[in-house]
């Protein structure tokens, strides 16, 4: 059995909680996991077809308020595949930071350029950190629910690392002045 691609696992994961349309999956991804995983329509819709062909999900048409939707739900087989993926030790964790690349090759320009690039990065990180902190705080109150606990832990990962980023930014700027 060939290894499923990750977007398929994201879809199965989302559907293991609730039935969703492709459009709603995109929203869920944007709102809750986008800081460590992304999805796009050009990515999601073909994956939905693929998953349905493999009988891991099933679709049903619905007309909500006169507008037609395709709502998907996960099958027993889909749940099994999701679980197998969760139990698989292999996991690719990739960091691709162009900002670090630019810093590494900083000698090709002047120090002020390097500092400026760090500041742009810092700004973005600060903004994202503020959001993650709010999310994290709001989840703190319902850790008795397992799903909320898992959600909290990923948000918390973001908070910890983004705080480390900011600490590093300050140090790096100091050393470059």
Partner DNA sequence: ATCAGCATGTAAGGCGTTACATGATTCA
Partner DNA sequence: TGAATCATGTAACGCCTTACATGCTGAT
Burial of 78 (0-12, 13-18, 19+ CB in 10 A): buried
Give residue 90's Cα distance to chain centre. 18
- Judged by CB under 7 A, the stretch of 46-54, 105-113, 122-130, 152-160 that binds DNA is 46-54
Which residues partner with 25 through β-bridges?
A: none
How many angstroms separate the Cα of 105 from the Cα of each of 111, 133, 167, 174, 176? 11, 33, 21, 18, 14
Least gap, CB of 46 to its own copies (angstroms): 19
Taking the least distance from each CB to DNA, the nearer of 6 and 79 is 6
Q: Does 174 bind its own copies (CB under 8 A)?
A: no
- Judged by CB under 8 A, the stretch of 44-52, 57-65, 80-88, 130-138 that binds its own copies is 80-88
- Which pair of structure tokens corresponds to residue 113? 């350029």
Strands 57-64 and 67-74: antiparallel
Contacts to its own copies by CB under 8 A = 6, 9-10, 12-13, 16-17, 32-33, 35-38, 79, 82-83, 85-87, 89, 91-109, 111, 113-114, 116-117, 120-121, 124, 143, 146-147, 149-151, 153-154, 156-157, 160-161, 163-165, 167-168, 171-172, 175-176
């Amino acid at each position: 059995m060939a290894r499923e691609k990750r977007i398929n696992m994201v879809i199965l994961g989302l559907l293991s909680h609730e039935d969703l349309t492709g459009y709603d999956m995109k929203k869920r991804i944007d709102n809750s996991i986008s800081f460590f995983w992304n999805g796009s329509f050009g990515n999601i819709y073909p994956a939905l077809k693929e998953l349905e062909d493999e009988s891991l999900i099933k679709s049903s048409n619905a007309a909500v308020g006169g507008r037609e939707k395709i709502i998907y739900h996960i099958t027993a087989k889909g749940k099994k595949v999701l679980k197998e993926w969760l139990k698989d030790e292999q996991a690719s964790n990739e960091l691709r930071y162009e900002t670090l690349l630019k810093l590494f090759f900083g000698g090709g320009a002047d120090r002020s350029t390097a500092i400026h690039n760090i500041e742009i990065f810092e700004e973005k990180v600060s903004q994202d950190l503020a959001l993650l902190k709010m999310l994290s705080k709001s989840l703190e109150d319902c850790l008795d629910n397992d799903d909320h606990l898992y959600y909290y832990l990923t948000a918390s990962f973001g908070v910890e690392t983004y705080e480390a980023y900011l600490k590093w930014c300050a140090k790096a700027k100091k050393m470059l002045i």
